Structure 1
Amino acid sequence: MGRLFVVTLEGKIYSCKYCRTHLALSEDIVSKSFHCRHGKAYLFNKVVNVTIGEKEERMMITGMHTVADVFCVGCGSIVGWTYEAAHEKSQKYKEGKSVLERFKVSGPDGSNYWATHEAHVSGSDADDA
């Protein structure tokens, strides 16, 4: 496999809830209005220390998208997904960006987000982004 190099971020950091590997900076958040099965999720311009899974077509709240799951390189946990392609013109801004599920990451202040009973179970996408 080879040697694993992990990027260390400085500033307000979102990290893997399980192994504390740095994943993103708060300044790279595009939107906090996304939702997934476990509740809130944030759209980021850039994430680090992740591997990208297989591309697949998924029907989401805002339409059909080509997405791939995002995994933490530290522990292998799925932490979100990345948008490879959006089929709707109004959703093109998501392409190349990644979503991290708040339930699976620790916030900049070290806080964890816990799944709520109001969490959307049906889909994983933004609320009228």
Structure 2
Amino acid sequence: MGRLFLVEHDPREGVLKACKFCNTYIALHQNITQDTFPFWPPSQGSIFSSTVNLVENDGGANQDLPSPALFLQLYCVKCGAFIGFRQYYDSTRRQGFSFICHDKVVDIFTNGD
């Protein structure tokens, strides 16, 4: 196995997204690029440009959707809870985005000082 390294955010950065079960920081609210996919209800989740403290599934890629893109499930690095999925549109350079489910995260409001 290896050591667990958690990334901490500066509390002055505003609203943070955290795991609902263990309060591990996952993303900043300002990193939301889109509220959701055009064909999904907005209450399902948000698309983030960058996330931290998430681990991808180590099994094979989830190819339930007919797409040339690569989909991997994301789990919290601390408690192992399912958080969302990551889509790589360029799997050779690992470029893509993360979709985080709203029912798996909570907002942590900081004072911004």
Instruction: Give the 3-state SS of the residue equivalent to 2:36 in structure 1.
Output: strand
Pick the aligned partner of 1:68 from 65, 68, 72.
72
Aligned to 2:97: 97
**What's the offset of the Cα at 1:55?**
1.6
**What's the offset of the Cα at 1:78?**
0.6
Aligned to 2:7: 7
TM-score (norm 1): 0.67
- In terms of fraction of residues, the more strand-rich structure is 1
Structure 2, unmatched stretches of 5+, are none
Establish whether residue 55 from structure 1 lines up as the match of residue 58 from structure 2: no
Aligned to 2:20: 17
Instruction: Give the 3-state SS of the residue equivalent to 1:55 in structure 2.
Output: coil
- For this pair of structures, how many residues does the alignment match? 97
**What's the offset of the Cα at 1:84?**
1.8
Aligned to 2:31: 28
Q: CA separation in 2, counterparts of 1:70 and 1:99?
A: 9
**What's the offset of the Cα at 1:109?**
3.4
1:40 partner letter: Q
Q: CA separation in 1, counterparts of 2:74 and 2:27?
A: 13
**What's the offset of the Cα at 1:108?**
3.5
**What's the offset of the Cα at 1:28?**
0.8
Aligned to 1:107: 107
The runs of at least 4 aligned residues of structure 1 exceeding 2 Å deviation read 33-36, 63-66
TM-score (norm 2): 0.75
Once the two structures are superposed, what CA deviation does each residue of 1:83-105 show, in whole Å capped at 9, x if it has no partner? 0238xxxxxxxx51101100000
RMSD: 2.1
Pick the aligned partner of 2:84 from 80, 83, 92.
80
Q: CA separation in 2, counterparts of 1:66 and 1:57?
A: 7
Instruction: Give the 3-state SS of the residue equivalent to 1:74 in structure 2.
Output: coil
